[in-house]
Chains A and B, each alone.
Chain A
Amino acid sequence: DIQMTQSPSSLSASVGDRVTITCRASQGISNSLAWYQQRPGKVPKLLIFDASTLHSGVPSRFSGSASRTDFTLTISSLQPEDVGSYYCQQYKTVPRTFGQGTRVEVK
């Protein structure tokens, strides 16, 4: 199975800060990577697919990038509603696998 290693496990930042979350795949997955947000008590939401394509309706402050087996989710200007957990997921092979998640808090 492909392992997805996500970092950091948690972070705290101020409103307006630039936030970066990284995900490393244990082997090549091309650009077969998605990012999800799960706000507290809510259903997960798709943010990005194919490593860098923004899903419909997702604010443009979210962006994704890829470099070989390293993937990055960036929030350009953190907002209070961005509090929650973020997960990467590879869909190159089955079983699909998620990173362990990053909890984002606002100071």
Chain B
Amino acid sequence: EVQLVQSGGGLVQPGGSLKLSCVASGFTFSDYWMTWVRRAPGKGLEWVANIKRDGSEKNYVDSVKGRFTISRDSAKTSLYLQMNSLRAEDTAVYYCTRGTGWCDHWGQGTLVTVSS
């Protein structure tokens, strides 16, 4: 069974940093691109970033470029999102997902709240 188990959310002040983690199991992690998607309160889904199977290619939505870094560790079958210089508009539930086109499996989501 494919599982994506997330951790690392919480409350952070504007300008602060947070790192999200996602541990994958039930499939060959190194065979798949991985993606982060978020949903802000009262808003729709927003694609954030994706990373190639071997980590050699990364893509970001413009609003997070230069502030967020997506990474992965095949030995730990884990996906990460390092978020720096956080803003109020980054407040959202963040989802770890499998795939680069369509996302066929999703983590349970983790809430990130940016507020003073």
Contacts and interface: CB of A to CB of B under 8 A. Distances in A.
B44 A99 contact: yes
Contact of A98 (B46, B100, B101, B108): B46
B44 A43 contact: no
B45 A49 contact: no
Contacts of B44: 85, 87, 98-101
Interface stretch (A19-27, A75-83, A89-97): A89-97
Interface string B4-33: 000000000000000000000000000000
Interface range on chain A (Cβ under 8 Å from partner): 20 to 34
Chain A CB within 10 Å — which of B46, B50, B61, B101 has the most? B101
A39 interface: no
Contact of A94 (B37, B45, B50, B106): B50
Contacts of B60: 95
Given A43-B109, A44-B106, A49-B101, A89 B45 contact: yes
Closest 9 CB pairs between A and B?
A: A91-B101, A34-B102, A49-B102, A101-B44, A96-B47, A94-B59, A95-B61, A98-B45, A43-B106
